């Protein structure tokens, strides 16, 4: 995927897909005008929290990668470095009681929804204090206490489940919304199409969030997907579809607010396509044969954390020292989390077949 794909057009495309992102008109002379309106809907404190979470995700991913290199982590892992604005921008609009289903690339989603990094590291190290008691690992992290129903090892696996959760909320007259994250690769699975259709016919409170990072493993969206924007698929299921710049926190949060409100009002599901990029390889086995160094570098220059930090500083939401404090604080939290995870006990082999059925 080239950069031009996210140079988002202002006018609506023929399919009726709305676009939100950097190309929106900005008035550089007056900050009040160029401030994304969504910032008014979030408190200054929650904007700073969002920045902190983006840093926490980045440092979590880097530390997980480092732990992997040092042989502390078994198996493989899928890092979301570069996609932080997408995870945090969506989750910043949710209540702790709202639900979320995630993907194999789910560390960022978990943290954004409120998971503790200490228990996440413990899971990576296969320990009893991990979110899955060491049984699930990176690909199955869930934190039910924050409405996080889990990552998924199966591409598209979470989509129909999210629809079921939304059905359950509607039947129980609970006002919770369900966010279902999935990748561009998942949009070609039957489960995606079946899920969107059912969410639409039953007007369920689901926000489908496609994190389009340009590739499903080595296969670009151009090679795998018949439409240019995954958001175009929304019109086949009579729901709003919107494309946002996934590296722009404000654009993501704005779209999420609209979709979450619509869902909570009982007006049904939406599809948000968040165009972003995964900086690291697909997983540990990736040799990066399908993309160029130039492409990766171009995206590195559009780092979502750097952009968000600059914008918050420009608008006076955070000071230089405030940013420093966030970084130090995050460093500290990561170090403590790793120490906690290392010290956690391993599960007992005697309990191999526990948790298969309810006791």
Partner 1 sequence: MSTPIEATAILQRRRSSVEDTRSSGLSPEPRELSYAQAIQEAMAIAMERDERVFLMGEDIGVYGGAFQVTGDLVHRFGADRVMDTPISELGSAGVAIGAALTGLRPIFEFQFSDFSALAMEQIVNQAAKLRFMLGGAVSVPLVMRFPSGSGTGAAAQHSQSLEAWFAHVPGLKVVQPATPHDAKGCLLAAIADPDPVMIFEHKLLYKMKGEVPEGHYTVPLGKARLCRPGRDVTIVATSIMVHRSLAAAEELSREGIEAEVIDLRSLRPLDRDTLTQSVKRTHRLVCVYEGVKTLGIGAELSASIAESDAFDYLDAPILRLGGAECPIPYNPELEKAAVPQTPTIIAAVRDLIGGRL
Ligand X SMILES: Cc1ncc(C[n+]2csc(CCOP(=O)(O)OP(=O)(O)O)c2C)c(N)n1
Task: By CB under 6 A, name the binding residues for ligand X.
Answer: 78, 104-105, 153-155, 183-186, 213, 215-217, 278, 282
Closest separation in Å from C-beta 104 to ligand X:
5
Binding site for partner 1 (CB under 8 A): 74-76, 123, 126-127, 132, 134-137, 139-140, 152-157, 185-186, 188-191, 216-219, 223-225, 285-287, 289-290, 346-347, 349, 352-353, 356
* 63 interacts with Mg ion by CB under 5 A: no
Give the residue with the Cβ less far from Mg ion, 83 or 148. Answer: 83
CA separation, residue 116 to residues 48, 53, 324, 329 (Å): 18, 11, 22, 14
Give the residue with the Cβ less far from ligand X, 105 or 113. Answer: 105
Residue 358 CB contacts under 8 Å (≥ 6 apart), including other chains: none
Gap between the Cα atoms of 217 and 219, Å rounded: 6
3-class secondary structure, 193: helix
Closest separation in Å from C-beta 239 to Mg ion:
21
Q: What is the DSSP letter of 138?
A: G
Gap between the Cα atoms of 244 and 250, Å rounded: 10
**Residue 62 binding partner per list Mg ion, ligand X, partner 1, none, with a CB distance cut-off of 5 to 8 Å that depends on partner kind:** none
CA separation, residue 80 to residues 76, 212, 277, 281 (Å): 13, 12, 9, 10
Give the residue with the Cβ less far from Mg ion, 71 or 190. Answer: 190
Give the residue with the Cβ less far from Mg ion, 216 or 304. Answer: 216
Gap between the Cα atoms of 218 and 148, Å rounded: 28
Gap between the Cα atoms of 193 and 297, Å rounded: 34
Evaluate whether 319 touches 327 at the Cβ level (below 8 Å): no
Q: What residues form DSSP beta bridges with 34?
A: none
- Give the contact letters, 195-214, x = binds to Mg ion (CB under 5 A), - = no: ------------------x-
**Residue 58 binding partner per list partner 1, Mg ion, ligand X, none, with a CB distance cut-off of 5 to 8 Å that depends on partner kind:** none
Figure out which of the listed residues 98, 143, 184, 245 binds Mg ion, where binding follows CB under 5 A. Answer: 184
* 188 interacts with Mg ion by CB under 5 A: no
Closest separation in Å from C-beta 152 to partner 1:
8
**Residue 19 binding partner per list ligand X, Mg ion, partner 1, none, with a CB distance cut-off of 5 to 8 Å that depends on partner kind:** none
Gap between the Cα atoms of 118 and 344, Å rounded: 10
* 183 interacts with Mg ion by CB under 5 A: yes
Give the residue with the Cβ less far from partner 1, 58 or 104. Answer: 104
Closest separation in Å from C-beta 100 to ligand X:
15
The residue whose Cβ lies closest to ligand X is 183
Gap between the Cα atoms of 293 and 191, Å rounded: 34
**Residue 52 binding partner per list Mg ion, partner 1, ligand X, none, with a CB distance cut-off of 5 to 8 Å that depends on partner kind:** none
3-class secondary structure, 20: strand
Residue 38 gets the label, from left (phi > 0), alpha (psi -120 to 50) or beta, of alpha
Residues near Mg ion, by CB under 5 A: 183-184, 213, 216
């Amino acid at each position: 995927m080239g950069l031009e794909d996210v140079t988002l057009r202002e006018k609506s495309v023929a399919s009726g897909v709305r676009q939100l992102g950097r190309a929106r008109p900005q008035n550089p002379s007056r900050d009040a005008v160029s401030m994304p309106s969504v910032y008014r809907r979030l408190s200054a404190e929650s904007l700073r929290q969002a920045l902190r979470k983006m840093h926490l995700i980045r440092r979590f991913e880097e530390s997980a990668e480092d732990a992997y290199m040092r042989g502390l982590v078994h198996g493989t892992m899928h890092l979301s470095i570069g996609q932080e604005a997408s995870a945090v921008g969506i989750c910043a609009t949710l209540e702790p009681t709202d639900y979320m289903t995630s993907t194999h690339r789910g560390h960022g989603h978990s943290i954004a929804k409120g998971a503790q990094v200490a228990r996440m590291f413990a899971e990576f190290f296969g320990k009893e204090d991990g979110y899955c008691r060491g049984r699930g690992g990176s690909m199955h992290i869930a934190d039910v206490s924050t409405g996080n129903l889990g990552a998924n090892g199966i591409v598209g696996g979470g989509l129909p489940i999210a629809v079921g959760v939304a059905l359950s909320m509607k039947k129980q007259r609970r006002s919770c919304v369900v966010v279902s994250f999935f990748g561009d690769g998942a949009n070609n699975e039957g489960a995606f199409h079946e899920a969107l259709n059912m969410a639409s016919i039953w007007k369920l409170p689901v926000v489908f969030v496609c994190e389009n990072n340009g590739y499903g493993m080595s296969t670009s969206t151009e090679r795998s997907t018949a439409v240019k924007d995954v958001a175009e698929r929304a019109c086949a299921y009579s729901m709003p579809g919107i494309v946002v710049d996934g590296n722009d926190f404000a654009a993501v949060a704005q779209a999420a607010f609209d979709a979450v409100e619509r869902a909570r009002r009982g007006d049904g599901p939406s599809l948000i396509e968040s165009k972003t990029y995964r900086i690291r390889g697909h997983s540990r086995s990736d040799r990066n044969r399908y993309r160029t160094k130039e492409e990766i570098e171009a995206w590195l220059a559009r780092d979502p954390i750097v952009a968000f930090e600059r914008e918050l500083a420009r608008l006076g939401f955070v000071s230089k020292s405030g940013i420093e404090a966030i970084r130090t604080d995050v460093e500290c939290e990561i170090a403590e989390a790793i120490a906690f995870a290392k010290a956690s006990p391993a599960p007992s082999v005697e309990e191999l077949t526990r948790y298969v059925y309810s006791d």
